[in-house]
Amino acid sequence: MRIAHVIHGFPPDSTAGSEVYTYKLALEQSRENDVAVFCRIGDRERKEYALTRGRREGLDVWRVNNTLRRCNSFEETYTNPPVLERFKKFLEEARPDIVHIGHLTLLSTLIVDELRRRGIPALMTLHDYWLLCPRGQLLRDDLEVCENPETAPCEECQKLQLAVSGTSRAAHNLYVKFSETLGIDLAFLKKPLRRVYLAMNRGRDALQGNDALAEHMRVRREHMRALCEKIDLFVAPSKFLRKQFLNFGVAPEKIEYSDYGFDTAPFKRFRRKPSTAVRFGFIGSLIPSKGVHVLLRAFRDLKMENAVLSVFGDFAPYYEHENYEKEIRELADAPRIHLRGRYDNDRVAEVFAEIDALIVPSIWYENSPLAIHEAFLSRTPVITSDAGGMAELVEHEKSGLLFEMGDSVSLREAMARVAEEGGLLERLRKGIPRVKTIQEDAEEMMRRYRRFVREDIM
């Protein structure tokens, strides 16, 4: 069977959870099938919408460059017709029997219409809430959870994105070019320029009517609802995520719950390094939604000489929270806290060899965090927020401990138990469940594909 995967990033350029999962699934499927990948990169040094083709471990990988610098409206940030034109070229060469979509952010939602027009079945694995929420995480600007995206004032979180226009893009590109030409860091101008930018666009929208911004969001919401109708089957890796999409109107028979599968090979000979200290660890992107600030505050208040904390991961931009890196570095400037930087996902078992308990302090409704599964593969108990897919994976007092999401005191108390209670870690290790393998996952996916692909093709 000829299988195509569509994803908003792909290794080695992007190594977040959904990208790594798609990569591992595609590799496993390529053992007996022809597999191609269409993904996005964001490189300002390259020509916008440049399409490149290469190989990665036998996979036919196509990359389209999209930095959004040619978008002239909010709608174009998600429909992006030029990306669709590159996808058409990909389809003509790859000629897939089925397309498995992992994410469409920074690509084009029109990809689904093109597949429907050509009669190519489309399956989509849901990794977050992007179809419901432009930010994908149901998290507001003030870092509070958005409980109902149907009625939420999304325009409040999307002011900058909604203000996108040909003029604003031209001004931004001029600002970048001016900075690069002079070789001067003009970051100090960002905030005042943003205020001017928003003020200008508030005036523009006032001329359109007071509800102009809300109307843009309503149009997006209905566009995504129509897109959902055109997908043949959704796969939700958590029951919580599935429920959110049922509430959005996806028919129950069109969305199946099925957790991720994992490459277990790196953990076959896993051995934890001995230590006299209790070693807590965090693995992931250092962004506000991951709750790293909650973890650091909890650990600073722990004040136990036998405990250490290692934080593995990179900082990344996150909307309006430009000072987050500074905040985290200040919080981490304390005894027994170590910022370890980026890690190689292919060697993640080596990271877990230095951890006795994994902390997942996310302040958004995570779907099915890969780090929790990897912790279980290494027999590492998990302390995690009591919400979303995190609470589904970790059974309190059996495979880990749950704490109140966003509450550093609750997290500190859970960490104190692990550091103080003799035998707790070993008891929790015994309760860790089995993790589905990537081989099992690939077999399940192939059975789903066969429901939509003609028998004479297989």
Q: Which tens digit of pLDDT belongs to each residue from 362-393?
A: 999 999 999 999 999 999 999 999 999 999 99
Q: Based on C-alpha coordinates, what's the Rg of the chain?
A: 23
Stated as kind and residue range, the H or E segment containing 350 is: helix 348-352
The rounded percent of the chain whose pLDDT value lies above 90 is 75
Q: Is 80 exceeded by the pLDDT of residue 156? A: no
Could you tell me how many residues make up the chain? 458
Q: Do 378 and 261 meet the contact criterion of CB atoms below 8 Å apart? A: no
Domain contains 148 = no
Mark whether 349 and 417 lie in a shared domain: yes
Question: Is 37 in a helix, a strand, or coil?
Answer: strand
* pLDDT value at residue 63: 98
Short-list 296, 345, 351, CA closest to 325: 296
Domain contains 145 = no
Mark whether 211 and 222 lie in a shared domain: no
Q: pLDDT tens, 73-132?
A: 889 999 999 999 999 999 999 999 999 999 999 999 999 999 999 999 999 999 999 999
Mark whether 242 and 361 lie in a shared domain: no
Domain contains 149 = no
Q: What's this model's pTM, rounded to 2 decimal places?
A: 0.87
Q: Number of structural domains, the chain?
A: 3
Mark whether 172 and 56 lie in a shared domain: no
Mean pLDDT score across all residues of the chain:
89
Structural domain boundaries enclosing 78: 2-140+218-261+438-450
Q: pLDDT tens, 250-280?
A: 999 999 999 999 999 999 999 999 999 999 9
* pLDDT value at residue 277: 95
In single-letter form, the type of residue at position 223 comes to: H
Distance CA 287, CA 314 (A): 9
Angle between helical axes of 324-331 and 292-302 (0-180°, round to 10): 20
Q: Is 60 exceeded by the pLDDT of residue 11? A: yes
Domain contains 15 = yes
Domain contains 49 = yes
Q: How many other C-beta atoms lie within 10 A of the C-beta of residue 2? A: 15
Mark whether 30 and 133 lie in a shared domain: yes
* pLDDT value at residue 303: 85
Q: At 409, which CATH number? A: 3.40.50.2000
Q: Is 50 exceeded by the pLDDT of residue 203? A: no
Q: pLDDT tens, 323-375?
A: 999 999 999 999 999 999 988 888 999 999 999 999 999 999 999 999 999 99
- The mean pLDDT of 6-28, rounded to a whole number, is 94
| pLDDT band with cut points at 50, 70 and 90 for residue 320 | confident
Mark whether 123 and 248 lie in a shared domain: yes
Domain contains 458 = no
Distance CA 58, CA 35 (A): 9
Mark whether 257 and 204 lie in a shared domain: no
Q: Which of 194, 215, 236 is the last residue of a domain?
A: 215
* pLDDT value at residue 92: 97
Domain contains 455 = no
Q: Is 50 exceeded by the pLDDT of residue 197? A: no
Short-list 300, 286, 435, 297, CA closest to 362: 286
- The mean pLDDT of 60-67, rounded to a whole number, is 97
Q: Is 70 exceeded by the pLDDT of residue 189? A: no
Mark whether 419 and 296 lie in a shared domain: yes
Q: pLDDT tens, 18-61?
A: 999 999 999 999 999 999 999 999 999 999 999 999 999 999 99
Q: What are 63's strand-pairing partners?
A: 39, 52
Count of CA atoms in the C-beta half-sphere (13 A) of 407:
12
* pLDDT value at residue 196: 47
Mark whether 353 and 245 lie in a shared domain: no
Mark whether 283 and 421 lie in a shared domain: yes
Residue ranges of the alpha helices (H) in 52-165?
76-79, 81-94, 110-118, 154-157, 159-162
In order, the DSSP letters of 205-233 are HHHH-TTHHHHHHHHHHHHHHHHHHH-SE
* pLDDT value at residue 15: 84
* pLDDT value at residue 210: 45
Burial of 112 (0-12, 13-18, 19+ CB in 10 A): buried
Q: Which of 200, 215, 230 is the last residue of a domain?
A: 215
Mark whether 256 and 284 lie in a shared domain: no
Mark whether 277 and 413 lie in a shared domain: yes
Distances from the Cα of 163 to the Cα of 8, 152, 259, 371, angstroms: 23, 19, 38, 36
